Amino acid sequence: MDKKIAIVTGGNSGLGYATAKKFCDNGIKTYVVGRTRERTENACAEIGEHAVPVIFDLTHLEQIPAMVNEIFKKEGHIDILVNNAGINMKKDFVDVTDADFEEVIRTNMFSVFSISREVVKKMKETGGGSIINISSMAAQYGLPKVIAYSASKTAIEGMTRAMAVELAPFGIRVNCIAPGFIKTKMTAKALDSDPERKNKVYSRTPMGKMGLPEDIADAAYFYALDEAKFVTGTVLPVDGGNSIGF
Ligand code: NDP
């Protein structure tokens, strides 16, 4: 088989960008899925020759099979899938509408199921692969005002285990990364405007700092590689100890 082929959803910014860059820097041809044409094309241009933009809205579940088929037809194999695209919505519990709840679940959970199903069909044909899901501290402990997000990320960890056991006989490994508080433009802005929350994040993180998107990329790269060939069904907190902090 020639070079490895990866799909990274939400690869145009934040953790997904760092992951796509890590893969491409190490010779993995990476299809970067994002909704926004400009952001996705610019990200791929910055990352370099191994990055290929795919302008696609993952909430259009019915179009996912065609998108995956197109990549498979071109490459003949898909070896790695990183389910990273996600949205959050911070609202008081009673203000969350059914439509709000559905939007988050559709993006963070239904699309992960649909794209994984389609990629697994291809991985079964070619003898295996690695799927990497991204959950959150919201699946490790209770966070206020993010009910739909917490539901979706907790589901992701259960799906990881269910997929891992069913797909192991086909050479498909499924693992999950649970990022702690990672420095991105969005989180920096949110925490700078909320000193109390910022203090809480730092005080319960034994390492006393936020992580970097590259920390998540490094973990994803490990899971993607043959070095992790006996690792499946795991959830790896990459969080400076936040999930076990007192
Ligand atoms: P960003 O907001 O920086 O990026 C989200 C990405 O998802 C963008 O590339 C966006 O593309 C894409 N995306 C969102 N909706 C869709 C959709 N419907 N179809 C296709 N692409 C979509 O997020 P982060 O890097 O901060 O987070 C990435 C993942 O990590 C998420 O799953 C998040 O829940 C998780 N996470 C992040 C943490 C953090 O501290 N940052 C902590 C814990 C978990 P576009 O802009 O084109 O819409």
- For domain 5-179+212-237, give its CATH number from 3.40.250.10, 2.60.40.420, 3.40.190.10, 3.40.50.720: 3.40.50.720
> Which residue has the CA at smallest separation from atom 31 of ligand 1?
86
Distance 228 CA to ligand 1 centre (A): 25
pLDDT on residue 1:
52
CA 82, 20, 153, 66 torsion-angle sign: negative
Rounded Cα distance between 120 and 64, Å, is: 13
Which of 55, 82, 136 for a ligand 1 pocket mutation test, highest count of atoms within 8 Å of Cβ? 136
Two structure tokens written together for 232:
């499946």
The rounded Å distance from CA 193 to ligand 1 centre is 20
Measured CA to CA, the distance from residue 159 to residue 174 in angstroms comes to 9
Atom of ligand 1 nearest to the CA of 137: 43
Instruction: Write the CB contacts of 46 (distance below 8 Å, at least 6 apart in sequence).
Output: none
| pLDDT tens series, the chain, 246 aa | 579 999 999 999 999 999 999 999 999 999 999 999 999 999 999 999 999 999 999 999 999 999 999 999 999 999 999 999 999 999 999 999 999 999 999 999 999 999 999 999 999 999 999 999 999 999 999 999 999 999 999 999 999 999 999 999 999 999 999 999 999 987 887 788 889 989 999 999 999 999 999 999 999 999 999 999 999 999 999 999 999 998
| Distances 200 to 7, 96, 194, 210 between C-alpha atoms, Å | 35, 25, 10, 12
Using only the alpha carbons of the chain, give its radius of gyration: 17
Asked if 84 contacts 9 with a C-beta cutoff of 8 angstroms, the reply is: yes
Per-residue pLDDT at 193: 84
Place of tokens 């990274």: 8
Which ligand 1 atom is at minimum distance from the Cα of 210?
40
In this structure, what token pair is assigned to residue 180? 């702690």
